[in-house]
Structure 1
Amino acid sequence: MKVFIHGNPETAVIWENLIQILNGQGVDDIMILSPPGFGSELPIGFQSTRLAYIDWMIKKLEPFKGDIHLLGHDWGALHVYGLLDQRPDFIKSWAADCAGMLHPNYHWHAQAQAWQTEGLGEELMYANLQLSNEERAEVLQASGMPALIASKIAPSLSDDMGESILKLYRSAVQPTMQLLGERLVRADLPPGLVFVPENDPFAGTMDMCYEMAEKLRIHYCLGLPAQGHWWMCNGGAEKAAEALLKHWRD
């Protein structure tokens, strides 16, 4: 079972291009996980913290444990790393980007730090939620998201997503991610594949990404020249699909 999980501020539509390519290669055992608040319903009482999402993944994936090829992007990648930390026995192989976020010298980007700040985060989130769908799509495009994907995601930027974003980022202030990285480099992990889009402004420097990939003792590391944060939505998808097929076979 191939399980894909996306991040923030996203829905499952980010995977459409990559899945189409993989389907064309005969891969049809794909499950999409949309985290609560991010393209799926936010249950009453759900806390939207980093650990709450890991618990949610564990419940969702329990029936398939031991036979899961897990792929994560952005916060989905961080959820992959979190599951590797808590339940590596669930995972047959894993693939993710954003490895630089586990680096001891990583600092959250400016937008994340704003969300992590009480008061300021609420103010910024409220202002964003007042925008029209067209204006939200323009904001997403300004951060590098392809126009078509941005137009599909914009209507999903709801109060629930806004609330989840603030809680999630505030549950991951440093040194939370640094400590997670320290635990993972000492762990006995399943086979891994790390994607390094070289124009990603959110994942740490390329050096950080490559260094963490080496420390995690992954099987493959795929650099994606000229690709940004949403590599799976455009020119990075073909090369990524090829790497995933090899990774899953090996």
Structure 2
Amino acid sequence: MSGRRSVFRPCIDLHGGQVKQIVGGTLSDNPDELKTNFVSQKPPVEFARLYRDRQLEGGHVIKLGPGNDEAAKEVLAAWPGGLQIGGGVTDKNAAAWIDAGASKVIVTSYLFPDFKFSLQRLQSISSAVGKDRLVVDGDKWFVAMNKWQDLTEMEVCQESLDLLSHYCSEFLVHAADVEGLCQGIDEALVTKLGEWCRIPTTYAGGAKDISDLDLVNRLSNGGVDLTYGSSLDIFGGSLVKFDELIKLSGSA
């Protein structure tokens, strides 16, 4: 990955059909535990159009729980081939999401029945859409599933990433314990991802300053891209301006 620079990758987190920024560790089936930093009054499709108009490719749309399929389909239709989709993706519905306009599908929970990694399931979904259309999503040092609530047995390390990379074309890594807190990135994790990952990788969690993009670039030697969430002005934040970020990223 040497010779390239880390860039900004946009996101759209859908919860109840709305764009929200949620503190990752509070996302569960109990609504009383949910902590939300931002709920957009704009329809989700407007964010897809914004990213399309700025040609910000490689962004991810994550469906957090039920009630998001209609909004997700509208988002993908607004920019066919421009966004990835995750949340409830299996070998049975992955191809349909590609047909709906997703550039790639993102999978986590399906790979871990009873919290145990299933190589057979990974092979099945990879066969369903093709390696080039598959992204595997994980959390920090252990892969997390079910809206980041349940840790699985798979440690994120050189060996596990090498195995996964035989069947997918990209990694998305959520540091759920810092997600939505705007307290800074997990520098140790980003450094290790830069060492371990041999395919495109995006890190999400804790970015709070425009300089974090340069920090991720330095720590990962340009091998890891960065997603900004709650700190970004388009998500109600006051720490990072969207227009300045995409200029720095070279995506303007």
Q: Give the structure-2-normalised TM-score.
A: 0.38
Question: Which has the higher relative contact order, 1 or 2, with Cα contacts under 8 A spaced 6 or more apart?
Answer: 1
Structure with the higher helix share, 1 or 2: 1
The structure in which a higher percent of residues are strand is: 2
Using the size of structure 1 for normalisation, the TM-score is 0.38
